[in-house]
Structures are given as C-alpha cells and as structure tokens.
Chain A
Amino acid sequence: EILLTQSPVTLSLSPGDRATLSCRASQSVTSNYLAWYRQKPGQAPRLLIYGASSRATGIPDRISGGGSGTDFTLTISRLEPEDSAVYYCQQYSNSPGTFGQGTKLEIK
C-alpha cells in the first residue's frame, strides 16, 4: 500500500499568512489521484481538494492544491482563524486508499 507522509506535523502561523502543507507518497500516485481534507475538532472531515488541484464545492480560491507524482502541496493563502484544523491528504489511485497522518495548523 502507498504510505503518505505529511509535513510539518504542526504549523503555527498568523492571520493573513500563507500556509504550505506537504504530502509525500512512498510511490507515484497515478493520475494525481490525491485529495485533501480539513477536520476541525469534534467534526467530520471535509473534502477540500480532489485530483490534486480541483477544489470541492464551496471551497474558496484562497485554498489550492498542487504537485504530481510523489510530492503534493496544499496552500492556504490569507489565513483566517477558521483555518485552524488538522489537514489530511489521501491517495485513491491504489487500493486500499490511504491517508497521511495529518498536519495540525494553528492560527496564532
């Protein structure tokens, strides 16, 4: 199965900053079948990005995804307090689909 490693584990930034989260795969993710989710405390995950760079319904354009092959990034511009959450990447090119361990984003 494909192992996904996210970095950093924790990221602490200020409102208005830009956050860059990384997701590295142990082998190439075919057709960039990679998704990103946000999970706030006590809530279910919410889909942000699929296909590495396509935004899900209702996701603002200050959130963007990029990358290919084994290296992917999630970028959040103009950080707001509501962006505080844990972010997970997930590959769905190979079975079983697997998740990264998450990056916790704190807004100071």
Chain B
Amino acid sequence: QVQLVQSGAEVKKPGASVKVSCQASGYPFGTYGINWVRQAPGQGLEWMGWVSTYNGQTQYAQKVQGRVTMTTDTSTTTAYMELRSLRSDDTAVYYCARGVIVPSARAYYFDYWGQGTLVTVSS
C-alpha cells in the first residue's frame, strides 16, 4: 500500500534551518511528484511547493520562495524539504503529499499524505 513516512518533530531557534524527510513506498517513486503543505497551529492548509521525483524540477509558493529547497533521493525514495532563516510564524505541522496532476490543470490534488512533522520555532 502507498505510504509516506516523515521524520520526527523538530525544535529550532529563529534564524536556524530545518530539513524534513518523507520516505515513500508502495508505488513507483518517479511517477508522482511530492508536494509540501503546512498547517500552523489551529489554522488551515497552505501549499508550499512541489518537487518532481522524475527530474528534480521544483515550484515554490511565493511566500517561501528564497528560503525553501525541495529535493529528492531516488535511491532511497525519499523527498526532503529544507526551510532556512526560520521565524516564529514558521511554527507548523509540515506534511508531504503525493500530487496527482491531470491534463490542463496547473496544480495538484493530493491523494496520499504523510503523517506530518511538527516544527517549532522558538527562542
């Protein structure tokens, strides 16, 4: 069965970086892109970006552009999301999600999600 398993919770100080991993299994890794979505405490869902598991191409949301890097390692079927220059408002649960693209659509819907990784930014 399809599974996305994320790394554990992190506590970081403002200005630091965090790298969250997402290991995929149960399907051919290179056939679906991995998206990252975050959710601040008590808030809604915010799409952060996408990485192609085929060729490493990326697309980032404007809000985190310049601070985020998404990568993949096909040998371990793992995707990574690194966020730099952390601020208190980056405190959130970060989810990876398998993205489904359909013809003529310009974005993805998400059919499988990781369990989430809580990143807390606090001095």
A interface residue numbers (CB < 8 A to B): 30-31, 33, 35, 37, 44-47, 50-51, 56-57, 88, 90-102
Chain A facing B: main interface SS = loop
Distance in angstroms from A36 CB to nearest chain B CB is 10
- Distance between Cα atoms of A37 and B62 in the complex (Å): 24
Q: Which of A57, A95, A97, A101 has the most CB of B within 10 A?
A: A97
Chain B interface extent, by class: 20 to 34
Contact (Cβ within 8 A) B116 A44: yes
B interface residue numbers (CB < 8 A to A): 44-47, 59, 61-62, 95, 100, 102, 104-116
Chain B facing A: main interface SS = loop
Q: Which residues of B are found within 8 Å of A50, using beta-carbon distances?
A: 100, 109, 111
Contact (Cβ within 8 A) A56 B111: yes
Q: Which residues of B are found within 8 Å of A35, using beta-carbon distances?
A: 109-110
Distance in angstroms from A87 CB to nearest chain B CB is 11
Contact (Cβ within 8 A) A31 B111: no
Closest 9 CB pairs of A and B: A97-B107, A44-B113, A92-B107, A95-B106, A35-B109, A99-B45, A92-B109, A95-B107, A101-B44
Contact (Cβ within 8 A) A93 B105: yes
The answer, among B46, B109, B113, for a CB contact under 8 Å with A46, is B113
Contact (Cβ within 8 A) A92 B44: no
Task: Sample 7 A-B pairs with CB under 8 A, ordered by A number.
Answer: A47-B111, A47-B112, A56-B111, A92-B108, A92-B109, A95-B107, A99-B45
